[in-house]
Amino acid sequence: MHTVSVSRTIDAPIDDVWSVLDDFGDVANYNPNIKTSGIVDGPDTGIGATRECRFYDGNRIEEQIVEYEPKEGYAVNFLDVGEFPLKTNVVEIDVESVDDSRSTVTMTANFTPKYGPVGWVMGQLVMKSKFEETFDEVLDGLATYVQTGQKVDKGR
């Protein structure tokens, strides 16, 4: 298993950041790689909420909240990884208040690549840096969306 973690401090109170993160089905509002997203099963948020994300490249994933603490964070298990070379992937999203006007969000992926030993090497050499790059994009998009209310997409 590999682990990658990226944190970002956002100039917004925790309630504002949490309200966006807790709108689980609308991740496409701030993840610039996702074209559309929505709840496909279970509640809108909390344990059991399941969403589908469709990417601009045509790929799709399905993920479900498996751990949930309001205003603290949640863990998302990838039920269907689509075409991604992943055997397993759980992403934890944690949020904490820095002060009345700033919050820190941390995204951590715990993943196992497909393809055995070759996949392990691929995870070390390629996938870890790709996760870091993606998390940076998502956290930048989250900050923009929280601060402006404008959907972030590939065109921005």
- Measured between its terminal Cα atoms, the distance across the chain in Å is 33
Mean pLDDT of 142-150: 97
Mean pLDDT of 87-116: 97
Tell me the pairing of strands 2-10 and 102-113.
Answer: antiparallel
3-state SS, residue 116: helix
Question: CB–CB of 56/31 below 8 Å?
Answer: no
Q: What is the pLDDT of residue 155?
A: 56
* 153 part of a folded domain: no
Residue 64 sits in a domain of what CATH number? Answer: 3.30.530.20
Mean pLDDT of 1-16: 98
* 57 part of a folded domain: yes
* 154 part of a folded domain: no
Domains held by the chain: number = 1
Range of the structural domain that residue 134 is part of? 2-148
Contact residues for 87 (Cβ-Cβ < 8 A; gap 6+): 112, 113, 114, 119
User: Residue 156: pLDDT above 80?
Assistant: no
* 110 part of a folded domain: yes
Q: What is the pLDDT of residue 154?
A: 76
DSSP state of 151: P
Contact residues for 144 (Cβ-Cβ < 8 A; gap 6+): 30, 150, 152, 156
List pLDDT tens digits, range 25-80: 999 999 999 999 999 999 999 999 999 999 999 999 999 999 999 999 999 999 99
